[in-house]
């Protein structure tokens, strides 16, 4: 039996998350990744440069990010192993910030509470913390849908995929994934400013999420006792090759329609609907989605425990 690094990391993160006091004192590793990426963009994403040059600069930044983060994580993992019997526990604690079960639950729960109290303004403010779309004009149903969509997509990005890469590649696997996912969220966009420079970040993130997204979608269907048909039918409707799997699984398991027209920077994107049923979502649906999310996270605990037992 191997040391239960992943299982302990999941349990600690679920119990305490990343405490606000700790964040205030030392920040979060993702902040360091963002600083590296921003510095790389300032030097390599120059509008006067041709498309190919900016794409090449983006590739170089991604490679440097992988080398720096992966090398640091590898060194920390080796140092933990040298501590002896309890070195694996140090390794588990170093993995905790790479998981986001607790923070994701807390953010979505805040939206549910606001809407349950009839405060759509507070709901908009809460959901704005976890989505990139315009929220100022969302009604109750729009806020609820946005929260559920973010929960579904972030179940992969924030929990399932980091755990997958922790199990596959240890600390280097986990933290390289988080670094690339951060790069994708910052520069992996299709707008003219980032289309060339962010290409490598976006494509690498797509590759790293290819398997975890499909496994996460299947897990949501499993714990939700349904949603398989909608997941297979509608996953491809999403602009992302991966995000649609968990979003369609959640829509199918809840019997809701998600996505649809969405405004970004006042421009409405006519995205297709995912799922069936056009009834308005509400706070109760967020609560149902959170229940599925908790079940799915607990299922991942079982996977992590089995991995420790089997290896």
pLDDT for 92: 96
pLDDT for 222: 97
**From its phi and psi, is residue 53 left (phi > 0), alpha (psi between -120 and 50) or beta?**
alpha
* pLDDT of 153 above 80: yes
Task: Give CA 264 to chain center in angstroms.
Answer: 19
Number of domains forming the structure of the chain: 1
* pLDDT of 266 above 70: no
pLDDT for 85: 84
Domain of residue 289, residue span = 5-310
| Residue 35 backbone phi and psi in degrees, to 5 | -65, -40
Task: Report the pLDDT averaged over residues 38-61.
Answer: 95
pLDDT for 263: 57
- Cβ neighbors of 1 (< 8 A, separation 6 or more) are 308, 309, 311
Q: What is the mean pLDDT of the chain?
A: 92
**What confidence tier does 264 reach under pLDDT thresholds 50, 70, 90?**
low
Higher pLDDT, 125 or 268: 125
Helix (H) or strand (E) holding 261, with range, is none
> If 0-12 CB within 10 Å is exposed, 13-18 middle and 19+ buried, where does residue 174 land?
buried
Task: Report the pLDDT averaged over residues 203-231.
Answer: 96
* pLDDT of 270 above 80: no
**For the chain, first and last CA: distance in Å?**
6
- Cβ neighbors of 161 (< 8 A, separation 6 or more) are 177, 181, 208, 209, 212, 213, 216
Task: Write out pLDDT tens, residues 123-148.
Answer: 999 999 988 777 888 889 889 999 99
Question: What DSSP designation does 235 have?
Answer: G
pLDDT for 121: 93
290-to-166, 176, 220 alpha-carbon distances in Å: 24, 28, 11
Cα angle at 73 between 68 and 79, to 5 degrees?
A: 130
Ranking 73-77, 140-144, 257-261, 281-285 by mean pLDDT, the lowest is: 257-261
């Amino acid at each position: 039996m191997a040391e239960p690094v992943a299982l302990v990391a999941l349990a600690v993160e679920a119990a305490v998350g990343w405490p606000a006091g700790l964040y205030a004192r030392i920040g979060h590793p993702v902040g360091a990744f963002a600083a590296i990426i921003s510095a790389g963009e300032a030097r390599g994403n120059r509008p006067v440069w041709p498309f190919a040059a900016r794409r090449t600069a983006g590739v170089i930044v991604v490679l440097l990010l992988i080398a720096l983060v992966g090398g640091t994580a590898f060194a920390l993992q080796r140092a933990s192993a040298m501590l002896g019997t309890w070195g694996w526990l140090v390794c588990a604690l170093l993995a905790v910030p790479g998981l986001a079960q607790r923070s994701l639950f807390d953010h979505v729960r805040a939206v549910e509470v606001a809407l349950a109290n009839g405060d759509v303004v507070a709901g908009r403010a809460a959901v704005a913390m976890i989505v990139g779309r315009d929220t100022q004009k969302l009604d109750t149903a729009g806020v609820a849908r946005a929260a559920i969509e973010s929960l579904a997509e972030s179940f992969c990005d924030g929990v399932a995929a980091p755990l997958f890469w922790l199990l596959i590649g240890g600390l280097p696997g986990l933290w390289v994934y988080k670094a690339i996912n951060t790069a994708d969220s910052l520069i992996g966009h299709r707008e003219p400013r980032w289309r060339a420079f962010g290409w490598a970040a976006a494509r690498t993130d797509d590759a790293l999420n290819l398997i975890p997204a499909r496994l996460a979608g299947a897990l949501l269907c499993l714990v939700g006792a349904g949603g398989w048909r909608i997941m297979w039918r509608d996953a491809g409707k999403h602009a992302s090759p991966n995000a649609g799997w968990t979003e369609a699984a959640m829509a199918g398991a809840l019997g809701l329609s998600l996505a649809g027209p969405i405004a970004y920077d006042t421009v409405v994107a006519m995205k297709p609907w995912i799922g069936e049923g056009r009834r308005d979502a509400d706070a109760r649906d967020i609560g149902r989605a959170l229940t599925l999310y908790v079940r799915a996270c607990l299922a991942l605990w079982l996977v992590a425990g089995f991995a420790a037992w089997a290896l």
